[in-house]
Structures are given as structure tokens and as C-alpha cells.
Amino acid sequence: MKIRATQAIMECLLEQEVDTVFGYPGGTILNVYDELYNYKDKIHHVLTAHEQGASHAADGYARSTGKVGVCFATSGPGATNLTTGIATAYMDSSPVVFITCNVSEPLLGKDSFQEVDITGIAMPITKATYLVRDPQTIPDVMRQAFAVAATGRPGPVLIDFLKNVTAPSVEIDYEFIPWKQNRACSSIQALATSHDLKPPEPDQGDVDKLAEMIAQSKRPLLLCGGGVVRGRADKEFKELAEKLDAPVAITVMGGGGFPGNHPLTTGMIGMHGSRASNVACNECDLLIAVGCRFSDRVALDPASFASQAKIVQIDIDRSEIDKNVLTDHHIVGDAKRVLELLDQRIPRYHHREWTEYVRTLNPAQEPESNARLTPQQVLETIRRLAPQDAIVSTDVGQHQMWSIQHFHFDYPGQLLTSGGFGTMGFGLGAAIGAQAGNPDKVVVHTTGDGCFRMNCHELCTVEHYHLPIITVIFNNGTLGMVRQWQHLIYHERYSETTLDRGPDFVKLAEAYGLKGFRVTTPEEMERAFRAALDAKCGCVIDCRLDMDEMVRPMVAGGAHITDFLLN
């Protein structure tokens, strides 16, 4: 049947079961927004304060729900404001479809008002980009974009429509095909063949070889990476860990892939990893890394990383194999499928002596009784009072590391953090997306005073949509992680890291119509967080901390994984 081109865009979103879109309108995308008005009962649009906030919200929605996020923006600065969010999603393998519109065909390439080559700009930070010049291709492009974003190693895709393609007078042929059926369309099948979209079926011989290596191991260690979370392979990973009776170290992106309070958990690994994780990595004889790319924050010195072990890498992306750390064996395939096959092939093992030894490497932490407020006290209060399934989004820096160290993440999508790109300003947008996608869950946003200044304008979004997000600011009056490096490595030369400036965060929250609290003691923190849980509206808790609080442990970049600068 014949329908408007813009109507086809909306119908294709409905094909993919999209019910929420984040974005910000502008001149070139007005035809799309005008059509959206006709679909407002079917597609909920969240208007953010800034396009970057919309990009992070769509990303947070995707990570927390397991669905594909969708983000709209106009041309020129609207599109370029998305790029940080696109790169953030790309580095952390988050499936988001970004939809922009550009100037009309006659104006293209003439430096027209708000014209930019966004497909060219976004090419290195997306799985695919599309510039739509022919309206008849809209259904195929939309279906392909969602297939590319969600299939294989997930990631962002960008579609840029020329404005004349979306003109109200333009009609195209269209047939509604639900997403569960449209993967069988000829265009999708051709795309799957040409782009190798289908996850490779694991080689049975490779799985058998790993089973043999496990049988020979006395000191195995499992490494839970972001691929376990993205692939929703947490159940299979847990079964493997328990059958192996092996300690489990967790990367920043692996949070939620294995229960954080499980007896086999050793905590985070790498630069700010626990002593147990880092020492176990150095002393194990078999390291099985699932969905982990061995970034420089994990394998700080690739040459000496897990030097006593045979290293096995399981990853869906063949290009990650041997990219950062040379392996002794690898399996290319979807984490869930590989672990299913492996679980079928191995018996139950017992490595009690090894697991007990590793467990002793993490000393028991005594509760702090300081009168002054510390990061540990802030996080212990949140962990004790918040529901166990609460979603936690973070920005980047000291508070991020403290949050990951002290919270126990038990399921995929419970932790939302920018691991690969390290994006300050990610947290509040991601929390908005998570709350929109999980309206019945408590969402806590942890941030630093430096990060929060970068995205605090999104408080207007929190207030307008009545999102009960609790923002907890670790306010130490400095760019804490940078100051920590300056203290330890740069001879206490604190160049441009002191944040001796406004705003008053409590008054800022109140200016946006939200509740604000300032806390300086553990007792005040408990009262404020209880009040925030009861408020049923957005709240900001300004926690005043000492400027010289540090993240411990710490290993310097490029150093041996057990060469701790701080214990």
C-alpha cells in the first residue's frame, strides 16, 4: 500500500516494537516530528535538554532493557551533539539506532545552513551509517539498521534522511512486517550474508579443546567481561563458574554478568582491581576470559599479563582475538552459545584449596565509624536501603570506581557505566533512559561534582517526566581521579583540578522543582536517602567529602598487575 515516507519511518519503528524514543527536534527533522504527532499514543517521546543527553538516554534504555534504543536529532549541531553518545555506545557495544535528518538534496554539499556530513563523521564510531536519498529504500534501511545494531556484537547505527525524502508529499510502497518475520526478508538475508551479521557457530573442536585444558588446570580463573552482559549469558556463566569451582574476576563492563556477592567473586580486576582479582590473575594456570577485550585498564602490561597461565579468549568479534593480549586458545562465537556447549562437556570440579587461597587475598572490610562522611559510608547506606534490584548509573571517575567496588551487581543491565570511552556526563542521561525503560525500579545515579556540572541541565527532564531518579553527588571539590594521579605521579602539582566554584547543588535541584539534600555525616546521609526513596520524585543528595579521598587499590598504567601504588 501507499503511505507517506515519514509514516513508513514510524511504522518501521512499530515493526521493531519501539515504544520509546529520545530526542530533540529542529528544522530538518520537522517532517519526522510532525508525523510523530500522529503516533504519540503509540510511541512515547522523551524531550531532553540537549542532544547529548538524548543519546545517553537511548543508550541507558538499551543497556537496561536489552532492547535497541532510538534517538532523534536534527542536522548540523544537533547531529554533531550526538557524537559523544554514539562513541560511548560504540565502545561499550550498546545497540542504539540514531536517526538524523539533513538538508534537502539541492542544498547538499554547499555548506548550507546547519549542513554537516554526519554519516562521514560517525562512520568510525558506528557499526554502519546510512544516507537515505531515495524514499523507496526507507523500509529496507530501517530494518537493516535495527538488524545491524542488535545482531552479533551489538552497537550503534546512524540513519541520515535528506529533508526532501521526508516531505509530506512523498509516498512510498510499504508492507508492515513484524520484526520477528522481517529478519527473513531478502534484504536482511542479503545483508546478513554480506556483513557477516549472524553470530558464528562455535567450532566444536575448539570447545572440546577448552574442556581438555580445564581438565588439566589446577588453578583456573574466570574473567567476566562485557560480552556476558551484552549477550545476556549470565546464567550460563554462573553455571560454568560453579561447575569449575573457580574464582571469578569481573571487568568494569562485566558488572552484573556474575552475582557480585557470590562466594566465587573476587571483585573488579585491573587498574583499580581488588588484590584477590589481580593476584589470582598473576598466579592462575588457566585464564578463561569471556566477552573481554583485554583493554589497557585490565591488561595494564600485556607482556606480563597472566604470565603463568594459558590464556583463553571467548568473544563474538573475531577482530578482538589477540588484539591486545596474545592467547593460547580462543573460541569465536556468541558467549551464551559457547558457554552452553562448554557446560554440556565438563564435569563438576573441585578447586577448594585454590579458591580458599584467593578468597583470603581480599581482607574483610570493617565498617567505618568516622564522624566525617566517606565514600564507603555513602555507598554502604545506598546498598543497605535501596532495593536489591535497583539500577545504578554512574558518571566517570573516583565515584565510578567506588560504586563498582562497593555495590553488588546481580543481573545484566543493573550497572550502567561508560567503560570504554570514559564519558563524563553519561550518568544522568543513562539514568533517564533506564527509568523510562524500567518505571517500576529504583534508579540511583552516582556522580562527581565535576561530572554533574556537565549534565545537570537534564534535571529539567527528570522533573518534567516525573522520574524518581536519585542523584548522589560525591562532592569533593575537585576532579578527584585526575587529582589522585597528580598526587601520586605528578608530584602534587594540582594543575586546574580544584573546583572551587558553584553552583549550590541543593538550590539547583530546588530551582528545577526537585528535592535537594546536603549531607556531611553518615547519619545525615541515611536520613536523606530514606527521604529520597519516599519522595517519589527526582532528588539530589550533595555529599560533602574530603578532597584527598582516593580510590584504593591502584596500579599505574603500564605496570605489572600486582605492582600496587596504593593498597
Q: Is the pLDDT of residue 562 over 80?
A: yes
Question: pLDDT value at position 29?
Answer: 98
CA 105 to chain centre: 36
Q: What is the mean pLDDT of residues 216-223?
A: 98
Question: pLDDT value at position 198?
Answer: 77
> Is residue 542 within 8 Å of residue 505, measured between CB atoms?
yes
Q: What is the mean pLDDT of residues 101-112?
A: 94
- β-bridge pairing 2-4 and 171-173: antiparallel
Residue 90, CA distances (Å) to 17, 82, 192, 285, 304 in order: 22, 12, 20, 33, 28
> Is residue 234 within 8 Å of residue 298, measured between CB atoms?
no
Tell me which H or E stretch contains 171.
strand 171-173
How many Å apart are CA 61 and CA 437, to the nearest integer?
Answer: 6
Q: How crowded is residue 357: how many other Cβ atoms within 10 Å of its Cβ?
A: 16
State the burial class of residue 464 (Cβ atoms within 10 Å of its Cβ: 0-12, 13-18, 19+): middle
CATH topology for the 375-556 domain: Rossmann fold (3.40.50)
Q: What is the mean pLDDT of residues 60-74?
A: 98
Question: CA angle, corner 271, sides to 270 and 277, nearest 5?
Answer: 35
Known catalytic residues?
51, 113-114, 163, 481
> Is residue 254 within 8 Å of residue 229, measured between CB atoms?
yes
Residue 373, CA distances (Å) to 59, 425, 466, 477, 546 in order: 33, 24, 30, 14, 8
CATH topology for the 204-360 domain: Rossmann fold (3.40.50)
* pLDDT band, very low/low/confident/very high, at 371 (cuts 50, 70, 90): confident
Classify domain 2-195 at the CATH class level.
Answer: alpha beta
The per-residue b/e assignment along 158-168, b for 16 or more CB within 10 angstroms, e otherwise, is bbbbbbbbbee
3-class DSSP assignment, residue 513: coil
How many Å apart are CA 411 and CA 409, to the nearest integer?
Answer: 6
Question: pLDDT value at position 289?
Answer: 98
pLDDT digits (tens, 9 = 90+) for 328-368: 999 999 999 999 999 999 999 999 999 999 999 987 766 66
Q: What is the mean pLDDT of residues 260-265?
A: 96
What residue type is 133 in one-letter code?
Answer: R
Q: Is the pLDDT of residue 230 over 80?
A: yes
Question: pLDDT value at position 452?
Answer: 98
- Phi first, then psi: give them for residue 400, nearest 5 degrees: -65, -50
pLDDT digits (tens, 9 = 90+) for 431-473: 999 999 999 999 999 999 999 999 999 999 999 999 999 999 9
How many Å apart are CA 482 and CA 489, to the nearest integer?
Answer: 10
Q: What is the mean pLDDT of residues 249-253?
A: 98
Nearest Cα to Cα of residue 411 among 101, 126, 63, 26: 63
Contacts of 23 (CB under 8 A, 6+ apart): 45, 46, 47, 48, 51, 54, 71, 72, 73, 99
DSSP assignment letter at 86: H
pLDDT digits (tens, 9 = 90+) for 389-429: 999 999 999 999 999 999 999 999 999 999 999 999 999 99
* pLDDT band, very low/low/confident/very high, at 222 (cuts 50, 70, 90): very high
DSSP assignment letter at 153: S
Q: Is the pLDDT of residue 185 over 70?
A: no
Residues of the chain with CATH 3.40.50.970: 2-195, 375-556
* pLDDT band, very low/low/confident/very high, at 567 (cuts 50, 70, 90): confident
Q: What is the mean pLDDT of residues 29-53?
A: 98
- Phi first, then psi: give them for residue 210, nearest 5 degrees: -65, -40
Bridge partners of residue 222, in order along the sequence? 248, 288
> Is residue 415 within 8 Å of residue 392, measured between CB atoms?
yes
DSSP codes of every residue in 447-512: EEHHHHHHHGGGHHHHHHTT---EEEEEE-SB-HHHHHHHHHTSTT---S-B------HHHHHHHT
* pLDDT band, very low/low/confident/very high, at 369 (cuts 50, 70, 90): low
Q: Is the pLDDT of residue 475 over 90?
A: yes
| C-alpha cell of residue 259 | 552475582
Question: pLDDT value at position 45?
Answer: 98
Residues of the chain with CATH 3.40.50.1220: 204-360
3-class DSSP assignment, residue 174: coil
